[in-house]
A and B are shown apart, each in its own frame.
Chain A
């Protein structure tokens, strides 16, 4: 199936050459054909999407411009608040909860003329790397239904990979956009911390969470990021600087750019993953870039620091789910028992594990040894990145240690599951942008991701290099769900 790019779709719709309804029906048809196998969605919004698409077509007919993403079908991770539409975070504790407000990114998407086709599945409260932690069943990888799509934004990645939507939004706290993008063979990016408003994103780890795009190619991802980025007065951590242009300079090429391959991130990963990065670096060299070895020594401590900081913040962010004001309530004779039973019934095992890990890391007597120390390690990682960026414009690394793995392979070993995030976590800790571009060596049955890392607000150069890698990547087999 040849995929129409978001930018092309929007241009055609705005010009009246293509109707938004037609575009939508194509995607709804794909959903009907394969969603039963893939389970990318918690909720498909067919009727609402049709109404929206019709409205866009009417606007075009009346001579007004619906916006830069006119008629483009978008899938939203189900931890983004959508007014009047259930937002569950794939958790029983929020089953049926309907937010009375839209997330800022959702507002911006609507203003840009996008058509929301549905809310996608995720690991519960964004905690996981396989979407197997969803309370509503896992999502399967459209490239091979026996494999995981990655997580936590597995649903959005799968939706884009399977052609259910042209674009997707996910959230990335330790790699939850980039890793599923790599496993599903699509593009996924995490922006600079603070570039995209978190207002309306159900919080997991506040100092790490960012919303970002899924797309079939780099320019589409850049276009989507451009629509959602920018200061929001409702988010105190939102950057008050003008968002850099994502699309300008995309095809400028990489001549003279210094590209650092992070040696620490090549260690311990599968050969396919390491090879993809080396091959990408060599390909870039052939078109004028200057690749070399780079080092971010403290990155090896990222996993440990992350698995103290993220659960600590999460344990606090998830305390509000207590059965009092919304969501699940399990009755009990007294309120403390009600809290404890509601939370026990409403949260899955991984969420409970992280809440307890986080509570422990913050508790009296352990703060300095765990959370306090992890925050210092974070500073070391930031310093090492700063040092590396003195010599390089961007850094390269694998996105994940290997390609998609079978469903059920790692569910019983939390630590093994956490290892998936080893290459993605450092960017979250530093607040830096990073993007995953699919790379499938000839003969390989599955793609892996090549990750481009850039300094804070380095999205322009990040997209530039990513676009170049994408253009140089070996051609991939035609995609379709199931194969």
Chain B
């Protein structure tokens, strides 16, 4: 396989997080009872007409801006074809005047993938195949639910810049983060919020692109990676045996671990695109665009840059923290005087292990714990315990530390305790002064007992040595 290069382009369909559908006021909601979120418009009843959802347009604009696209005046077109999940037997989509064109997406490792376009379109209904194991080819008949028909989608088409399954996964992962960050998507691939089609071909480096096959509807990163790898191998196998690749749509069979050919079509589909006469063009003016841009939050790449700069770190740890959404925490902690290294460690370990408790932890309290640890007020163990409690039930770090008795002892208080312990254990003390190092553990233990663990072990040892007149 090494003399072959895999070429991958990805089409990602993103369901937009709007309250209502693209062209009607029906609720945009996953998992409702079948055919309860429908109206004349999304059912395509005779006489119905579409009216465009403003919020969907704004989210689409946001996606375009986040992907560094040109956001342009656009129109809708009808894509005409017959299929039972399509209420009108045409899909309202965008054809040669889409809203977003010519952008790019930067992967965490710095590689840039071109974005050809990101356009708006409506989703179809959902088909359930009955009989034959629920698969289309053996089904006796099918049942259709139109709740999803008319849900707004943005289809993001990448340039064929990816060269590995790994890269494809990184692309989808990063794109997902961006889409979630802009508020456009909830990122739930398992609910179909993001659906990926992969176009895969192979070639010997330097040669023109080979014939590609499209693998449709990959709904997890894992299937995406496996399907691409399998398909590339399949194509290489065919070519090395002297055959040619038929341009076709294929499906990934998770159980079998291979791609299967879709129904062969004698002719390719003729969608007979023409401009949608029931809708008017969308022309975002500068004010609107500026407003949308201003409302965009910091996006993943910018977050990585910021975190790297603030912590003087790089690489996977930075990327992981951003992916987990913990970079704000660290950046604010460092800004409040916490030591970067400690902040990163606590975030990457204790907080990351306990993400469900993130709501209980404020960035101020996180910053405080980290500062308490860096200045020695808390031992690492104590700091972890305080954090765990904050994540579990919130609160103020200093109070939590006090309640657990973690408060570091003042120096004279410590001296007082040592005096007592020494006075209570004269023979042991004589042995220590005489040079028996092992006894220090006994005394440390006694001091810890007396102070209920509040003393700092290192400080106690140092004080004992000083007391004994030893260096």
Contacts and interface: CB of A to CB of B under 8 A. Distances in A.
B20 to A, nearest CB: 14
Interface in B21-58: 40, 43-52
Contact of A319 (B50, B88, B144, B280): B88
A200 B47 contact: yes
Contacts of A367: 272, 274
Q: Which of B45, B146, B272 has the most CB of A within 10 A?
A: B272
Contacts of B146: 325
B272 A359 contact: yes
Contact of B51 (A80, A200, A233, A335): A233
Contact of A236 (B47, B49, B82, B142): B49
Interface of A is mostly: loop
Interface string A311-337: 011011001101011100000000110
Contacts of A205: 277
A320 B87 contact: yes
A215 B448 CA distance: 103
Contacts of B84: 322, 324, 335
A237 B277 contact: yes
A81 interface: yes
B82 A319 contact: yes
A273 interface: no
Contact of A81 (B43, B47, B272): B47
A87 B51 CA distance: 23
Interface in A78-98: 80-81, 87, 89, 94, 97
Interface stretch (A99-107, A432-440, A475-483): A99-107
Nearest to A200: B47
Contacts of B270: 363-364
A99 B82 contact: no
Interface in A178-227: 198-203, 205-207
A320 B40 contact: no
Given A201-B47, A320-B87, A339-B82, A207 B274 contact: no
Contacts of A87: 46
Contacts of A233: 51
B78 A99 contact: no
Interface string A328-360: 000000011001000000000000000000010
Interface residues of A, number: 43
A109 to B, nearest CB: 15
B80 interface: yes
Contacts of A89: 46
A222 B254 CA distance: 66
A99 B89 contact: no
B47 A99 contact: yes
B47 A202 contact: yes
Contacts of A316: 78, 80, 90, 272, 274
A165 interface: no
Interface in A236-295: 236-237
A235 interface: yes
B279 interface: yes
A206 B272 contact: no
Given A199-B48, A320-B44, A325 B87 contact: yes
B175 to A, nearest CB: 31
A336 B273 CA distance: 21
Given A316-B80, A320-B88, A237 B280 contact: yes
A326 B45 contact: yes
A122 B292 CA distance: 49
A296 to B, nearest CB: 23
A325 to B, nearest CB: 6
A444 to B, nearest CB: 39
A371 B87 CA distance: 25
A202 to B, nearest CB: 4
Contacts of A326: 45
B46 A362 contact: no
A236 B279 contact: yes
A234 interface: yes
B37 to A, nearest CB: 15
The 3 closest A-B CB pairs, nearest first, are A319-B89, A206-B277, A362-B272
Given A99-B40, A320-B87, 8 more contacts: A101-B40, A199-B49, A207-B277, A235-B49, A319-B90, A322-B89, A325-B87, A363-B270
16 contacts: A81-B46, A200-B47, A202-B46, A202-B47, A205-B277, A207-B277, A235-B51, A312-B274, A313-B274, A322-B84, A325-B43, A325-B146, A335-B142, A339-B82, A367-B272, A371-B274
